[in-house]
Each structure stands twice: as structure tokens, then as C-alpha cells.
Amino acid sequence: MSGYKKMDFYIESFVNLLEEGLEIGKKLELKNNKAQVKHVVMAGLGGSGIGAEVVLNYLERSTPVPLVLSKDYFLPGFVNEETLVIVCSYSGNTEEALYVLQEAINKKATIVCITSGGKLQELARANDIDCILLPAGIPPRACIGCSFSQILFVLQQFALINDSFETEISNAVKLLSGELDTIKKDAAALAGKLQHKLPVIYSDQRIAAVATRWRQQFNENSKVLGWERPFPEMNHNELVGWRDKAEDLAVIFLHTGSELDRVSRRFEINRSVICNFTDNVYDIVAKGDSFLEKAIYLILLGDWTSWYLAELRGVDAVEVNVIDYLKNALNKG
């Protein structure tokens, strides 16, 4: 990690990476995009996999074929010659992703890899598999602006979606460029309220991936624990756990303004319940007109919040030494 810059440099580059992702995707020419696809599996973990979660939220109500996430060493049992498997590993050396790639090859699935290099690129080249190369030298979680759009371009080339996402991302670039100062100001203010607290993030299921991104960024950048849950699922279990005073918790409600009326009502009722047990309750409302604009806006706001919280805690937002320790220990057997 010593070769990396400070995390605020990469967060400042978020808009540029969105633009670079569009440029890479528009030039994409897949060799093996003629297969008849009946299901899609998107495989990836951590910073390499969160983009696939955003894509799933974005498309799960509209695609003509099922979209499934794989966050393990294995593919679902249904994978066969009619499955498109998109393997995402920024480093190209993610252990689980390499296992999944080999299984996809064995099952004769149509495969596309998204990476910056490593063993994934080598295996793709050796097996004549389409491979999209991302800009190298970035912490995986910081490349989301460039990486998630490649999944959309792949799906477009297989005629599973149209190109409307390009306009949404372009509009998000304009939105963020005009709102950057406000985003940073709001993020710094929220980070100040989260200091010495454990963050709990609640959202509509529609943007569950964004809530996950917030938690992941608090984990990796701010070096704090936390959790996230979506509505309405949270109301069928976790709400009962709000029973005792919990001033060490800070609850963040993520809103898009586009929630189903019944979900909006759940936000209101849950807020009234939770406020009985903690005064640290904050409502964050997305800006933008489309799903991707709002999701991208919230992602950048969460990224900046995690950075400011890291600064307040005096920790290095880039450093993930314990993950490196885990990988090294696994390599020793």
C-alpha cells in the first residue's frame, strides 16, 4: 500500500474516474458477445464487487434475464453454457475470483473479466476470454467510479440493456461537478457527528448497495465497525432490537426521494421509534433525477464522510494491513 497516495486524492478523482469509465466502455469490443444468455452471474468481493451490487439494484426490476451475485469461491449450480459470468477483481489476484473463473471455464459459460491485471488477466488471455482493463495503481474500493460502468457496457453488448445508463452517468458527472463543495461540507459536518459513534445505516432495499458502500467505507477508510439494513426487511426483525438506550450508535437514514409511499412511511415510523433510544439520528437525501445520479451522489457523499471521519480519528484511510495479513496467512496454508 506504500505506493498509494492519500485517500482524499482518490476521492477527489471520483468524477474523473466516472468519465474514464465511460471512455473505456464506449471503446469496448467484446469477441464473444454472440452467445444466447439466459442468466447472468456477477462475481466479485469487497471494493471489486460493490459495483456489481449497485448494478443489481439498478437493473433487477428491468432486465429480461435473472441477475445473480456471487461472493464466494463457487458459482450457483445453474451456471452452464447459457450463462454470462462477469468476474470482477481489481487486482486480478483475488483468490475467490480466480476460483470462480476456473469453475466458469469448466462449465463452459460465456465469461468477461474486469481487472487491472494480475492472474485474472493472464488466465483470460490464456483461455481467449474477453478482459476489460481498468486503470492500475488505485486502491480497489477507490476505482468504483470506473469499474461499475464496465458491467453495464458488457450487458449492453449482450443486448440485455440499452444505452440509457450512459446519459445517467454523464448527468451524474455534471451534478457532482457542481455540488462538490457542498458534498464535502456536508460530509465533514456529518463526520463530526459520527466521531466516537458506531454508524448504523438504513435505506430502501432499492439502494441497499449504496448503504453497503457506506458501511464498507467506514470499515476500510475510517477503521470503525458498523452495519447496514434495508427496509422493509429490517422491520421484520431488527426493529425489535431497539429496546435500550444506545447513545453510542449513530443512525443514518439514506433517502432517494423516490421511495414507494409505503417505504417512506416506514422511514417515518422507524425514525420515531429509534429516536426514543438515541439522539444521534441523521437523514441524508440524495440529489439527482435518475437512479444512477442519486446512487452516485450518495456514494461520493459517503466516501467523503468516511475520509473526514478517518482524519478525525487520526488513521490512514488507505491502509488495510489486516487484510494483507489475512491474505498472507492464507497463502501459507
Residues involved in catalysis:
220, 236, 327
Return d(Cα 302, Cα 298) in angstroms, integer. 6
- At residue 4, the 3 state secondary structure works out as coil
Angle 291-313/208-217 helices, nearest 10 degrees?
A: 20
Report residue 70: phi and psi, to 5°.
Answer: -120, 120
| Sign of the C-alpha dihedral computed for residues 177, 172, 27 and 210 taken in this order | positive
**Alpha helical stretches, state H, 43-94:** 46-59
- At residue 294, the 3 state secondary structure works out as helix
Give yes or no for a contact between 116 and 139, defined as CB atoms under 8 angstroms apart.
no
Cell of 307: 475520509
Return d(Cα 45, Cα 59) in angstroms, integer. 19
- Residue type at 79 in one-letter notation: V
β-bridge mates for residue 204, sequence order: 231
63 burial (CB, 10 Å; 0-12 / 13-18 / 19+) is: middle
Give yes or no for a contact between 132 and 113, defined as CB atoms under 8 angstroms apart.
yes
Return d(Cα 13, Cα 29) in angstroms, integer. 26
* H or E segment to which residue 292 belongs: helix 291-313
Nearest to 151 by CA among 66, 28, 36, 296: 28
CB-facing half-sphere around the CA of 233: CA atoms within 13 A:
9
